[in-house]
Amino acid sequence: MRKLLPLLALVCAMPFAPALAQKTTIGVSLPQDDNPFYIAMLRGIRSRAQELGMDVVTVSSQEDKARQINGVQDLLARGVKGILISPIDATGVNAAYDAAARAGIPIISVARGSTSPNQTLHVAMDEKQIGRDIGGRIAREIGKGKVALIAGPPGAPTFKNLTDGIKESFATHGGIAVAFEQYGALTRERGLKLAEDALTANPDLAAIYAANDDVALGASQAVVAAGRKGKVFVTGMNGIPPALRAVKDGSLGLTVELNPVTWGRLGVDMLADYLKGKKYDQRVFIRHELVDAKNIDTKLK
């Protein structure tokens, strides 16, 4: 065993040794590996990093906070120059930020953010504003009536902020009642099932807000099955291709394009600027765009 140890160490170090010697390496820790949104974001990070001549190492966390903290510590141990993180929630992985601060390494939150004072900066989407925009669009569409909210996982501040923004805008319009509100997983099946129940409990439902496109596509299916296509306005978010097609054929009222690829690129740019010593803001918002029947043709190529 003792003879094997040096050999083992050599084998482990080999793939990384040249990289560390030559280029700036940045570390990336995202909440999920298998979510299309984060896959696209990582694609953006990698392409921008390549353009800037940086190397990227990733660690996976699969929505497990302890794993994310450990992952960040591993990145620090490897000597990365900066970290891009999308924290699983706003407080649960603060230890990762503390560790980065102790090592004197910048740590930038992308998409999801943290309350940690050690967060260098946050490349965010303006969740409240997106919520207000969706809510305003729903209000203009239906005038008055009942709305169902099929929100995202409980505990994630993003989804809370979105629904808060929506409710805020409903309050300014008046005449709109939230008749149904449930938090849970972001799957198409759940969107379908909850929309079925919401439509049964409220036959006069006028709109359904869904937390993302998968949920929205499920909900729109329930609307079509209930024979109420065109009468119930369904909204999604993220702008994945099947959702864009659904907007085109009218079964989905709108989706919000966030473009995770640009998001990832912006994160790398902010980190590069920081490393060069440029001035920065604590919070940078990524642009968002509502996609509906009016502008859908520009989005579908």
Partner 1 sequence: MKRVDVLVGQIPLATLLVLGATMSVLSEHFLTPLNLSNVLVQSAVISVVAMGMTFVILAGGFDLSVGSTVALAGCVAAAVMMQAGIVAGVGAGVAIGALVGALNGFVVTVLRVNPFITTLGTMVLVRGAVFLFSDSQQVPIEGSLPQGFIDFGVERFLGIHWLVWVPVVLLAALSWVLGKTPYGRAVYATGGNREAAYLSGIRTGWIVASTYVWSGALAGVAGVMLASRLQSGQPTAGEFYELTAIAAVVLGGAALHGGEGRLYKTVIGVFIMVVLGNGLNLLNVDSHWQRVAVGLVIIAAAAADQLRHRR
- List contacts with partner 1 (CB under 8 A): 33-36, 39, 154, 179-189, 192-194, 196-198, 200-201, 214, 218, 221, 225-226, 240-242
In the complex, minimum distance from the CB of residue 146 to partner 1, in angstroms, rounded to a whole number: 11
Which of residues 19 and 179 has its CB atom nearest to partner 1 in the complex? 179
Look up residue 93 and give its DSSP letter.
T
In the complex, minimum distance from the CB of residue 252 to partner 1, in angstroms, rounded to a whole number: 13
CA distances from 142 to 197, 230, 231 (A): 21, 11, 9
Question: Residue 266: which region, alpha, beta or left (left: phi > 0; alpha: psi -120 to 50)?
Answer: alpha
Which of residues 115 and 182 has its CB atom nearest to partner 1 in the complex? 182
SS3 content of the chain, % helix, strand, coil (to 5): 50, 20, 30
In the complex, minimum distance from the CB of residue 203 to partner 1, in angstroms, rounded to a whole number: 8
CB atoms within 10 A of CB 54: 21
In the complex, minimum distance from the CB of residue 187 to partner 1, in angstroms, rounded to a whole number: 5
What residues contact 139, with CB distance under 8 A and at least 6 apart? Answer: 169, 170, 173, 176
Helices (H) and strands (E) in the chain, counts: 12, 12
Which of residues 33 and 126 has its CB atom nearest to partner 1 in the complex? 33
Which of residues 54 and 194 has its CB atom nearest to partner 1 in the complex? 194
Look up residue 206 and give its DSSP letter.
E
Which of residues 50 and 182 has its CB atom nearest to partner 1 in the complex? 182
In the complex, minimum distance from the CB of residue 12 to partner 1, in angstroms, rounded to a whole number: 23
Which of residues 105 and 207 has its CB atom nearest to partner 1 in the complex? 207
Which of residues 52 and 226 has its CB atom nearest to partner 1 in the complex? 226
On whether the CB atoms of residues 215 and 190 are closer than 8 A, the answer is: yes
Distance CA 120, CA 283 (A): 9
Q: Which of 36, 24, 35, 45 minimizes the C-alpha distance to 267?
A: 45
In the complex, minimum distance from the CB of residue 41 to partner 1, in angstroms, rounded to a whole number: 12
In the complex, minimum distance from the CB of residue 55 to partner 1, in angstroms, rounded to a whole number: 24
**In the chain, what is the straight-line distance between the N-terminal and C-terminal CA atoms, in Å?**
60
